[in-house]
Amino acid sequence: MEIQRDTGYISFRLDGREVKLDFAAAAWSDSGDRIASVIGTQKNGFETFQIVLEGIDLNVGSIHSLVDENTVNLAYYTPDRRMPLSNIIGFINDNRCSGSLKVSKKKFVPILEAYAFSATFSGVALDENEKIHQISDGIIYDSRSE
């Protein structure tokens, strides 16, 4: 009998093209710095996605900026993690960028001593050459948030 493991994924449209990362997790701790962390990758690929928000209260329905320098530590996507600094698309505090994350589900996970969550997101991000990219229909799903 196979044990069902916790599953998660991140999907979004990048300039109209569908992107899906088939391994993801999202957690938030209400102690200390109140950090929300999202990380996603592909089991058999090189794409990565990461968001780290600090000092936030994360509740179902809450909306968080992806470009606020006071709360955003990281918010980026890399098509190929083997080239981390030369191939990156990021939400940054720049007047050309915008973006938000809206929490859709949240549940306490005792083994994590934190909350798992799922969310939607969208926005406008820049690559390393300052080219603008549209990110839409974003979904962060962590099955532990059910």
Task: Report pTM.
Answer: 0.93
User: Does residue 2 lie within any of the structural domains?
Assistant: no
Q: What's the pLDDT at 84?
A: 64
Query: How far, rounded to the nearest angstrom, does the alpha carbon of residue 57 sit from its chain's CA centroid?
Result: 16
Structural domain contains residue 88: yes
What's the pLDDT tens digit per position in 58-74? Answer: 999 999 999 999 999 99
User: Does some domain include residue 141?
Assistant: yes
Res. 2: pLDDT tops 60: no
pLDDT confidence tier of residue 96, bands split at 50, 70 and 90? very high
Show the domain range for 100.
8-145
Asked whether residue 16 is assigned to any structural domain, the reply reads yes
Q: What integer pLDDT is reported at residue 1 of this predicted model?
A: 43
If phi > 0 it is left, if psi is from -120 to 50 it is alpha, else beta; for residue 55 that is: left
Compute the distance between CA of residue 41 and CA of residue 23 in angstroms, rounded to an integer.
5
- Residue 1 domain-assigned? no
Residue 55 lies in a domain: yes
Structural domains of the chain, count: 1
What is residue 56's DSSP assignment? -
At 136, is the pLDDT very low, low, confident or very high (cuts 50, 70, 90)? very high
Helix (H) or strand (E) holding 112: none
Does 3 reside within a domain?
A: no
d(CA 117, CA 140): 8
